[in-house]
Structure 1
Amino acid sequence: MDQSSIVFISIISAAGLAALVLAAFFVARAWKHRRRSLEMDDMEGHEFEYFCADLLRDKGFLDVEVTRGSGDFGVDILAEKDGVTYAVQCKCYNAPIGIKAVQEIYAGRDYYDRMVGVVMTNQYFTSAAVDAAKKLKILLWDRGYLESMMEELD
């Protein structure tokens, strides 16, 4: 075997090893992301609120505060980012989120004098909830959106 063949084989071997390492990295990252997604499904309501508050902090929100459990007017978290104030309701359910959550955060947003109302959930929203949110200018952060927020942090 001549020198150029040995160099070529070495380059191919190094490229293969690099591809294998890169693939392992992405598989591990996907597994971590999937595990965190499944963990949020097993949380009880108050635990999910703190999970969402931590996620908001990690995404650069400031003054993130979990409200008291009862009498919160449908608002679980108060936060601020880039001069915009948020009122957030968290819903950790095993079924789609309906219009009631949108109505509650709409009222809670105004009660707390916040600029933006958000419903965060580990699920998805019914079409009635989506329609109401558009009309009432409420943001809906569903499972896919939360997963993308978590993915950006990995």
Structure 2
Amino acid sequence: MPGKPSPVARLFWTAVIGGPLALWYGPPALAATGFALLCVWLRHLGRPRRFRARVRRIARAHGETLALRRRQESFRDAYGNWIEDGWLRERDYFLDRTVLPQIGPRDADLAITERDRMLAIVEAEAAAVDLPEEEDAPEDGLDYERYCAERLARAGWRAHRTPASGDQGADIVADRDGLRLVVQCKRLTKPVGNAAVQEAAAAQRYWAGDRAAVVSNAGFTPAARRLAAATGVLLLHHDGLDAIDLAQA
């Protein structure tokens, strides 16, 4: 499919068509040609603004999900630093997988030059959503397991914690609607790595689960995300336990 004509091409053809008419018909045609050239140029100047407005509409349509992901992928580490690495990756993912496919190839040049502004728009739309107050998750590991089991129970799961030894990587086994979810819980001050995903995948087989999940307060490393995508292990923040649906996961 041919791309959108460039502003230079539009100006050129407007001048090519309008110039002879201006010479033939005199001042009125000359004024009309000048006005047409001005309109073409003004439209070009407004193109980035219209592009950003489209990005804003797309981001706003996903505002609640973006706000939740922003909360889930940000945490405070053991040194008191606010870590947003996971959220920054999520913003890029949203642009590349959701926004740009809707923008299309005609505005590919603006997708490059306006990248920073697009990210700022996503950030602003996520920050504008007023989410319900987040529950304080316990800091102790065993208390965190109980907390996650309680949230699953509130969502209609028959959730029970596994024995402290011999659990084969599972902290919680939950059943609902004939489906079984095997969960490993990680209350950490840094993103969860590969090992937890490997253990959850093994626990799913041991406990005859339909799906496995790693639940954490602190996000996940890129390597953990890649392994989870390959093994089908769900990576969740504890806020996501209330709405998990294995039939659609």
State TM-score, norm by structure 1. Answer: 0.68
Distance in 1 between residues matched to 2:240 and 2:168, nearest whole Å: 28
Distance in 1 between residues matched to 2:160 and 2:241, nearest whole Å: 19
Q: Which has the higher contact order (CA 8 A, sep 6+)?
A: 1
Distance in 1 between residues matched to 2:205 and 2:169, nearest whole Å: 11
In terms of fraction of residues, the more strand-rich structure is 1
Q: Detail structure 1 runs of 4+ shifted over 6 Å in the superposition.
A: none
The answer on 1:125 being equivalent to 2:220 is yes
Q: How far 1:69 sits from its partner (Å)?
A: 1.3
Structure 2 counterpart of 1:45, one-letter code: G
Q: How far 1:112 sits from its partner (Å)?
A: 1.0
Instruction: Work out the number of aligned pairs and report it.
Output: 114
Matches for 1:7-18 after TM superposition, within 5 Å: none
Distance in 2 between residues matched to 1:133 and 1:84, nearest whole Å: 20
SS of aligned partner of 2:167: coil
Q: Which residue in the other structure is 1:66 paired with?
A: 161
Q: 2:188 aligns with which of 71, 93, 97?
A: 93
Deviations 1:4-35 (A, max 9, x none): xxxxxxxxxxxxxxxxxxxxxxx8x84xx23x
Q: How far 1:43 sits from its partner (Å)?
A: 1.9
Q: Which residue in the other structure is 1:112 paired with?
A: 207
Q: Which residue in the other structure is 2:229 paired with?
A: 134
SS of aligned partner of 1:90: strand
Aligned identity (percent) is 32
The answer to whether the 8 Å contact 2:154/2:242 transfers is no
Distance in 2 between residues matched to 1:98 and 1:81, nearest whole Å: 28
The CA RMSD over aligned residues, in Å, is 1.9
Structure 2 counterpart of 1:116, one-letter code: R
Distance in 2 between residues matched to 1:148 and 1:96, nearest whole Å: 17
Distance in 2 between residues matched to 1:112 and 1:150, nearest whole Å: 22
Q: Which residue in the other structure is 1:12 paired with?
A: none
Distance in 2 between residues matched to 1:45 and 1:116, nearest whole Å: 22
Distance in 1 between residues matched to 2:241 and 2:164, nearest whole Å: 25
Q: Which residue in the other structure is 1:10 paired with?
A: none
The answer on 1:84 being equivalent to 2:176 is no
